[in-house]
């Protein structure tokens, strides 16, 4: 199994973990906020679980499927994180449409959007750079 498939399977583990955060005792506070930053709802959990399932299937299927996952997932999550950094709302959870631009402290926006920026950026770079000669 090559690096693209291994990375996709790693994303499956991380994303299934993100989907499970609300259901692990002690991770969220009384207001449902994880780590004092993220307020994840059922829609967020479903999005993370669907992304994890996509990553799992891609990682188990082929190098080509893993690369496609990494590039598309990476672009979607990186874009969502960058929009969230700029506006306080992302598009994957429809927040930009339901909440509009939010007046949040920049430091909070960095912390809240860093996971999508990091996961998306690493996935996109991995999908575009690794094993290019085998395309």
Q: What is this structure's pTM?
A: 0.87
Ordered DSSP codes for 53-86 = HHHHHHHHH-HHHHHHHHHHHHHHHHHHHHHHHH
* 35 or 66, which is more confident: 66
* 58 or 135, which is more confident: 58
Rg (CA), the chain: 15
The kind and range of the H/E element at 34 are strand 33-34
Please write the tens of the pLDDT for every residue from 125-134. Answer: 999 999 776 6
d(C-alpha 83, C-alpha 117), whole Å: 10
Please write the tens of the pLDDT for every residue from 32-52. Answer: 677 766 677 788 889 999 999
Is residue 39 helix, strand or coil?
strand
Which structural domain, as residue segments, surrounds residue 121? 3-134
Contact predicate 63/6, CB 8 Å:
no
Q: What is the domain count for the chain?
A: 1
């Amino acid at each position: 199994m090559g690096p693209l498939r291994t990375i996709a399977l790693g994303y499956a583990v991380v994303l299934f973990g993100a989907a499970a955060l609300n259901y692990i005792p002690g991770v969220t506070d009384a207001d449902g906020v994880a780590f004092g930053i993220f307020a994840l709802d059922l829609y967020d959990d479903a999005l993370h679980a669907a992304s994890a399932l996509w990553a799992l299937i891609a990682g188990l299927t082929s190098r080509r499927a893993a690369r496609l996952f990494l590039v598309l997932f990476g672009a979607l999550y990186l874009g969502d994180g960058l929009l969230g950094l700029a506006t306080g709302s992302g598009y994957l959870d429809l927040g930009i449409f339901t909440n509009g631009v939010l007046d949040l402290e920049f430091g909070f926006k960095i912390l809240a959007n860093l996971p999508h920026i990091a996961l998306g950026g690493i996935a996109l770079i991995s999908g575009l750079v690794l094993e290019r000669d085998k395309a």
